[in-house]
Structure 1
Amino acid sequence: MNEARKANQTAMVAEKKKMEAPAESRGISKQKWLEERKKKVGKILDANGLDMSKAYMLDTQDAAESKYKKWEKDPAPYGWDVFNPKTLYNAYKKRTKNIDVDLDEYNKLKEADPEFYREASSLQYGKAPKVSEDRIEKMVKELNNREEKRKSFSRRRKFHEEKDIDSINDRNEHFNKKIERAFGKYTLEIKNNLERGTALPD
């Protein structure tokens, strides 16, 4: 009798919660879904004797691969790869992404000029078509943007740990490198003597 009363009470409470639950605009809210998922994962981990830091062990191989693929980025081109046709084409695509093409104007120009696509044997070869001022302005703007990007870009230099530290800051290090390039061969013997402690006093 007592158990039936308890079961009835819990069913009534659950039904009341359902009735009072705020209506979600689009199904279940993301936060609630995440909480439920976390609880579910927590139960599975507890059953296997693991803590939440080992949640990745529940992922399937496919799920893990897709997750790692998202994290991976294409490495930046290095060395001679900078001048590969593929890299140059990607750079071209990146530059032309923001260019808007006016097909009507293009078709008008094509209709106006019978030799729009000229061959090498054409008598109009080398003759430049008239370009509107706004197109020139757009090109200048794009070139200026490229120049600004190039100026703002700074390549991170590799830090060599095995190299002796002979500078107090980056600027001084740069200056020391320049001095070394210019006078290094002349001062090598003096430096070695100072390091060994065999330099003769004046």
Structure 2
Amino acid sequence: MEEEEQGEGREEEEKAEESVSEPAEKADDERTDEKSTESETRREGKEGESGSGSEESEEEEKDDGGGEEDAGQMMASREEKMARLRELHRRRLEARQLNHREVVEEDRRSKLPANWESRQRKVEWEEEDEKARQEAEAAGEDYEREKMMKTSASELERLQRKKKKNPDPGFTDYAQAQLRKYERLTKHIQPDMEAYQEQKLEMGADFYPGVNSLTHGGAGKVSKEALERMTQDLAKQVEKRSKFSRRRPHADNQDVDYINDRNMRFNRKAARYYDKYTAEIKQNLERGTAI
């Protein structure tokens, strides 16, 4: 009995040992499996890192190339902008110089007399005319004849009309002489039509006063500008009259057909209009062949 009990105890111990050893073996197998999986994951991670690293390097290379292209474009655009800026500065400097030149020229023209251009044209024409006259005389030609041949008919007609525009009919009576002098003196004084119309609208019916008009004194007041214009015109008349107040020279070899200065002036005026008709009669009287 004791031996059977000892045998059963041994069997139970062996079963217990087997039950204990089996989980240990399973644990060892699980550890080995875990180690193998970890090694595989590490290997895969390294491979993935190497692949991603190559991709990142390729992307970095691409980024570097794109950055260089962008930098080149930026430099080109900057140079283009600087060139445009230099061109604008050049144009501004040129415009400033031209404006200054025009201002100086305008100031010079403003300081010239009012009729400077017409006087300059007249002087140039006289110089050209004198030069052509000298050339014609040196060639032995008649300058007046050559001049008329080169002048157009329309130009000659214009000159004739200019001469006949305001002919002097001579003395007829004092009223006509006074009217002619008045027209000559007031030819350069032109009325201000704008001021005339404004005053006409402002005064209304009182602009033309009648027997029932009550306005007196203040109506029709002359402006300071008009007075100044009249003063300047009177000063010009005095200056012009002073130039013609010089004594005329006396010709000793001229025929004396007058008894005093007044009669001399009358004979001169009469000769101006009638000499072309009486020249032959005078010659016949001098020769003694008059009938």
TM-score class, shorter: 0.3 to 0.5
- Greater share of residues in helix: 2
TM-score where L is the length of structure 1? 0.36
**Larger Rg computed on CA atoms:** 2
